[in-house]
Amino acid sequence: MTFLAFARGPALQVATLIMIAGIFWRLAGVLLLRRRVAHAAARAPFLRRLTGGAKTIVTRTIPRKNFWPRVATGVSLGWVMHLGLFVILFAGAPHILVLHQITGLSWPNLPKGVIVMASAITFAALIALLVRRLTHPVLRLLSNVDDYLSWLLVFLPITTGILLSGETIAGYGTLLALHILSVEALMIWLPFGKLMHVALVFAGRGMMGFNFARKGAAT
Amino acid sequence: MTQDAETLGTMLARRGFGRRSLLKFAIVMTSSLALPPSLAPVMADNLAKAKRQSVIWLSFQECTGCLETLLRSSAPTIDALIFDFISLDYQEALMASAGAAAELTLRQAVAANQGEYLLAIDGSVPLKDGGVYSLTGGRSNVSMLEEFAVGAKAILAIGTCAAYGGIPKAHPNPTGAVGVEDVISGKPIVNIPGCPPVPEVLSGVLVYFVSFGRLPDLDDRKRPLAYFGTTIHDQCYRRPFYDQGKFAKSFDDEGARQGWCLFELGCKGPTTHNACASLKWNNGTSFPIESGHGCIGCSEPDFWDQGGFYTSLAGGSAAGWRNAGIAAAVGLAGGAAAALSARSKSSRPPEDKP
């Protein structure tokens, strides 16, 4: 079995199964948590609580104006990095092909040059985020292995993807295998660390907004 | 002077070909082999002094496609090579009608050229059950290979079957097929993979060997670097469309008519090393991608087991919905058990704790 065949075959299958099992493990754990019983009467009807949840998903992605000067760097870099990842994943031709294989859905792709540019910007944003984490006194104290491992497992697919697009330091097959393996490492770690926010972030914000609306607080 | 003792230069002169003709041929071959142009006169001089190289060609577990394509090609004319530059002393398919006399010829050729002949192999070597799945004159391929490899100066594994096992080795490999290098060690081996291989590659290797007395530079898979140093993708005329993100979505859509990249239709060009895109086939007419079909990667090891020909390299073999369902169920059960265990340790919600 070649290196590429291993990456595209058994490794992909194992990584997928671990990721699925892990995500459902985490979801079950969160959903079955004991919750405090709300004894106070709800101050908003159910529908308004739902819209409050939906609204919070949007409002919490943009910092309030008075916080902006303090969080501008971190939030901007985060936005750039996440948008870059979105463009790479959903507009790169090979990635659309993978998603098409899984879902049967397909859509037009962007030229390779645009994807490479998005990758380069994302790469730079990730480096800047790491530097900030290492140099910011509070952020450094708050960081643990999970933060650095999660950063590394996002950084590696971007790096191998850029190398693959250039096809310079090794053959296409080797670089493709390394790229796929780096994505598989990310898939395996995703449910067990902070990367799980991919599945939980919007649900968490929505739930918080729903509860705020119930209490009559601003969402 | 017997024909075998005659040098190529003398023979060509006798047929009316002067040094200029040989020099032109050498220029073509040095170019094909990616050698410096300054080596062309050296090659021409060496060829002129060379004597016909004895080649013994054994066909093992194969379809004869390799031999067919080599004989039907016009590559610096393989027929000229066979009759002028090399002495093809034994080839089973071509000598089939000779019967036992062919076997005698083989013995004589081996004895006369001990340690000097080139052993050309096409077809894989079946090893299972003592190699009974492919016999010649009652002898297994593996025993013939082991016997005739001893006296060979070098071995040419022609075609993907001889190089890596090829289609006979495809899963489940019922005959235990392997390539030549899995059986023979300690001999110079050059792999010329392809299903079939590009004729010019064999010509180039033979001419290099006759000219310089050794095999050309090889890559890590023992392939001539001059022909297998780059991928089909690197040389493909559709490459600009790949870079622009313009892909044919089906074999008859507008993209296909515009000649866009066939990556999404399963083309294996990016992972396939061969010279198809530069040397082309049928007198340089075209190669598969130029004819509208993606490369199937036939010159790579285990190409038959690398997924579907029409599955893009970007894809992979999925875990399957059933396995995904089992994984989800296991995850749900584990997560629920962990959550319930945590709940049982505390009778009150965490918020109500003092």
* Same domain for B207 and B163: yes
* Same domain for B198 and B249: no
Q: Is residue A5 part of a domain?
A: no
Nearest one of B134, B221, B124, B135 to B178, comparing CA atoms: B124
Q: Is residue B330 part of a domain?
A: no
pLDDT(B352) > 70: no
Mutate to test the interface with A, among B312, B348, B352 (most CBs of A within 10 A): B312
Nearest CB among A5, A32, A171 relative to B339 is that of: A32
Nearest one of A216, A185, A181, A186 to A198, comparing CA atoms: A186
Q: Is the Cα torsion angle B341, B347, B350, B354 positive or negative in sign?
A: negative
Question: A82: which 2 tokens?
Answer: 């996440």
- According to the model, what pLDDT value does residue B350 have? 55
Query: Under an 8 A CB cutoff, do A93 and B307 touch?
Result: no
Q: Is residue B205 part of a domain?
A: yes
Q: Span B11-38, mean pLDDT?
A: 83
Nearest CB among B315, B329, B349 relative to A98 is that of: B315
Nearest CB among A2, A37, A172 relative to B302 is that of: A2
Confidence of residue A82 (pLDDT cuts 50, 70, 90): very high
Which stretches of chain B are assigned E, i.e. beta strand?
Answer: 53-59, 86-91, 117-122, 125-126, 135-136, 139-140, 152-158, 177-178, 189-192
Q: How confident is the model over A9-55, as pLDDT tens digits?
A: 899 999 999 999 999 999 998 888 888 888 888 888 999 999 999 99
Q: Is residue B256 part of a domain?
A: yes
Nearest one of B204, B199, B206, B160 to B72, comparing CA atoms: B199
Percentage of residues in chain B with pLDDT exceeding 90?
A: 56
Q: How confident is the model over B158-186, as pLDDT tens digits?
A: 999 999 999 999 999 999 999 999 999 99
Query: Under an 8 A CB cutoff, do A21 and B328 touch?
Result: yes
* Same domain for B143 and B278: no
Query: Under an 8 A CB cutoff, do A102 and B318 touch?
Result: yes
pLDDT(B97) > 60: yes
Q: Is residue A20 part of a domain?
A: no
CA distances from B79 to A78, A201, B84, B86, B89 (A): 66, 70, 8, 10, 14
Nearest one of B161, B123, B184 to B302, comparing CA atoms: B161
282-341 in chain B: CB under 8 A from chain A:
300-302, 305-307, 312-319, 323-324, 327-336, 338-340
pLDDT(B75) > 70: no
- According to the model, what pLDDT value does residue B311 have? 87
Q: Is residue A65 part of a domain?
A: yes
Q: How confident is the model over A133-167, as pLDDT tens digits?
A: 999 999 999 999 999 999 999 999 999 999 998 87
Q: Map residue A65 onto helix, strand or coil.
A: helix
* Same domain for B155 and B61: yes
B349: Cβ contacts below 8 Å, ≥ 6 apart: A34, A35, A36, A37
Query: Under an 8 A CB cutoff, do A16 and B319 touch?
Result: yes
Query: Under an 8 A CB cutoff, do B317 and A180 touch?
Result: no
- Residue finishing a domain among B166, B201, B227: B227
Q: Span A95-113, mean pLDDT?
A: 89
* Same domain for B258 and B221: no
Please tell me which residue, B92 or B258, carries the higher pLDDT value.
B258
- According to the model, what pLDDT value does residue B72 have? 72
Q: Is residue A13 part of a domain?
A: no
Q: Is residue B346 part of a domain?
A: no
A107, burial (CB in 10 Å: exposed 0-12, middle 13-18, buried 19+): exposed
* Gyration radius of chain B's alpha carbons: 27
Q: Rounded to an integer, what distance in angstroms lies between the CA atom of residue B227 and that of residue B225? A: 5
CB B265 within 8 A of CB B294: yes
Q: Is residue A135 part of a domain?
A: yes
Question: A11: which 2 tokens?
Answer: 């490794």
Question: B210: which 2 tokens?
Answer: 């006759």
* Same domain for B71 and B204: yes
Q: Residue B237's domain spans which residues?
A: 232-305
- Residue finishing a domain among B227, B246, B265: B227
CB B105 within 8 A of CB B90: yes
* Same domain for B277 and B253: yes
Q: Residue A128's domain spans which residues?
A: 42-215
Mutate to test the interface with B, among A6, A8, A90, A116 (most CBs of B within 10 A): A8
Of B6-20, B41-55, B110-124, B137-151, the least confident: B6-20
User: CA of A167 to nearest chain B CA: how many angstroms apart?
Assistant: 10
Mutate to test the interface with A, among B261, B267, B271, B295 (most CBs of A within 10 A): B271
Work out the mean pLDDT of chain B and round it to a whole number: 88
Q: Please tell me the number of Cα atoms within 13 Å of B79 on its side-chain side.
A: 7
Which string of b and e fits B53-65 if b means at least 16 CB within 10 Å? bbbbbbbbbbbee
CATH number of the domain encompassing residue B162: 3.40.50.700
Query: Under an 8 A CB cutoff, do A110 and B245 touch?
Result: yes
Q: Is residue B277 part of a domain?
A: yes
Which amino acid would we find at residue B224? P
Of B37-51, B240-254, B322-336, the least confident: B37-51
User: CA of A62 to nearest chain B CA: how many angstroms apart?
Assistant: 29
* Same domain for B261 and B168: no
- According to the model, what pLDDT value does residue A172 have? 87
In chain A, the number of structural domains is 1
Nearest one of B214, B168, B173, B176 to B195, comparing CA atoms: B168
Which of B14-18, B169-173, B301-305 tops mean pLDDT?
A: B169-173
* Same domain for B125 and B61: yes
Query: Under an 8 A CB cutoff, do B315 and A7 touch?
Result: no
Q: How confident is the model over B244-295, as pLDDT tens digits?
A: 889 999 999 999 999 999 999 999 999 999 999 998 988 888 999 999 999 9
CATH number of the domain encompassing residue B280: 4.10.480.10
A15, burial (CB in 10 Å: exposed 0-12, middle 13-18, buried 19+): buried
CATH number of the domain encompassing residue A58: 1.20.950
ipTM of the complex: 0.83
Q: How confident is the model over B191-206, as pLDDT tens digits?
A: 999 999 998 898 889 8
B167: Cβ contacts below 8 Å, ≥ 6 apart: B63, B160, B161, B195, B304
* Same domain for B157 and B223: yes
In chain B, the number of structural domains is 2
Q: How confident is the model over A200-214, as pLDDT tens digits?
A: 999 899 999 999 999
- Residue finishing a domain among B168, B194, B227: B227
Which string of b and e fits A177-193 if b means at least 16 CB within 10 Å? bbbbbbbbbbbbbbbbb
- According to the model, what pLDDT value does residue B77 have? 59
pLDDT(B2) > 50: no
Q: Is residue A10 part of a domain?
A: no
A10: Cβ contacts below 8 Å, ≥ 6 apart: none
Helix residue ranges per DSSP H, A39-111: 46-59, 68-91, 93-103
Q: Please tell me the number of Cα atoms within 13 Å of A64 on its side-chain side.
A: 5
* Gyration radius of chain A's alpha carbons: 20
Work out the mean pLDDT of chain A and round it to a whole number: 92
Q: Is residue B126 part of a domain?
A: yes
* Same domain for B245 and B201: no
DSSP B213-224: SSPPPB-TTS-B
Q: Is residue A33 part of a domain?
A: no
B185: Cβ contacts below 8 Å, ≥ 6 apart: none
Residue with token string 């083309």: B267
Nearest CB among A17, A18, A28 relative to B335 is that of: A28
- According to the model, what pLDDT value does residue B83 have? 63
161-180 in chain B: CB under 8 A from chain A:
none
- According to the model, what pLDDT value does residue A39 have? 84
pTM of the model: 0.79
* Same domain for B292 and B198: no
Nearest one of B211, B167, B177 to B66, comparing CA atoms: B167
